[in-house]
Amino acid sequence: MLKKTSALFLFSAGLFYSQAQQIIPFRITKHNNIIVKTLVNKKDSLDLMFQIAMKEGAISPEHKQKADHIIFNKDETSDHNTVDIGKLSFKEVQFLDNQLTGQEADGKIGTVLFDGKSFKIDYDHNQFVMYDKLPDLKGYQPIPVLWKQDTFYLMVDNVIDGKKQQEGYFALQSGYSGGILYSNDFAEEKELEKKLKIIGEKTLKNSKGQSLITKQGILPFFKLGDFVFKDMSVGFFSGELKTQNVSYFGADMLRRFIWIFDAERKTAYIKPSKYFSEPYYKIN
């Protein structure tokens, strides 16, 4: 009798654990963007790029599939939408119109999918997993995060010249296909143009003839927690236009880890994914 009771308890516990998680499958493009298949307002089948640096949703002006059932007001905003992903349904989702997104996507969807829950970005199995409580964290390293205006920030160390570490906050940005992109302030203050080996450069001009120069350099060391990347490709801007106000921790770096975020958005737990040692993504 005791054995049957124990077996029933273990079965019930396992059933509760499985019910306490929800899974959303995704695919990864060759540009490192995460694409989720959705059904919006029960009518529009849309491929949405997951954007970790926003909460709600958006539709691209270049969307390939019809989005006729998302009704926008004069401010290009649409409220009270439903988003279905498999058997999961999310209500009261806001969409913005005319926002550019990654290739192969009709728009974007943010962390509204994980409101009030811990969640995992599992690049090894191409899925998000949502938890009511944190799962087993054995093998993961805790990393403090700052959650501000629907964006996650990490403090990382950069070794630019010699052995001195230069700390800086980086916004997680899954819409940027590359790895590290420095803000204008960081690039100028640390004199990246002089101190890094430059391996690529491209100049763009706007209608006023002002130039925006994108440069790729080699950073000797980049350190997140106990994880160190050597001789990595990084990007920054120079020229007359100063538009990059935040440093990015982009999709090429995100995919190198499996991530678990707590429900309070104060800590990320990371461990290497199957992409950890892949070559760095090249920005054309």
> pLDDT of 182-197, one tens digit each?
999 999 999 999 999 9
pTM recorded for the entire structure: 0.89
What integer pLDDT is reported at residue 284 of this predicted model? Answer: 65
Q: Within 10 Å of residue 118's Cβ, how many Cβ atoms? A: 21
What integer pLDDT is reported at residue 12 of this predicted model? Answer: 43
DSSP assigned state of 263: T
Q: Which of 176, 141, 161, 156 is nearest to 252 (CA)?
A: 176
DSSP assigned state of 159: E
pLDDT for residue 271 is more than 90: yes
State the Cα–Cα distance between residues 87 and 48, nearest whole angstrom. Answer: 17
pLDDT for residue 70 is more than 70: yes
| 10 token code pair | 């273990």
Q: How confident is the model at residue 55 (pLDDT cuts 50, 70, 90)?
A: very high
Q: To the nearest whole number, what is the mean pLDDT of the chain?
A: 90
39: exposed, middle or buried (Cβ count in 10 Å: 0-12, 13-18, 19+): middle
Mean pLDDT of 57-80: 96
Please give the single-letter amino acid code of residue 82. T
pLDDT for residue 152 is more than 80: yes
| 137 token code pair | 């964290």
Domains of the chain: 19-131 (2.40.70.10), 141-272 (2.40.70.10)
37: exposed, middle or buried (Cβ count in 10 Å: 0-12, 13-18, 19+): middle
Q: Are 154 and 142 in contact (CB under 8 A)?
A: no
Mean pLDDT of 201-225: 83
Q: What is the largest CA-CA distance in the chain?
A: 84
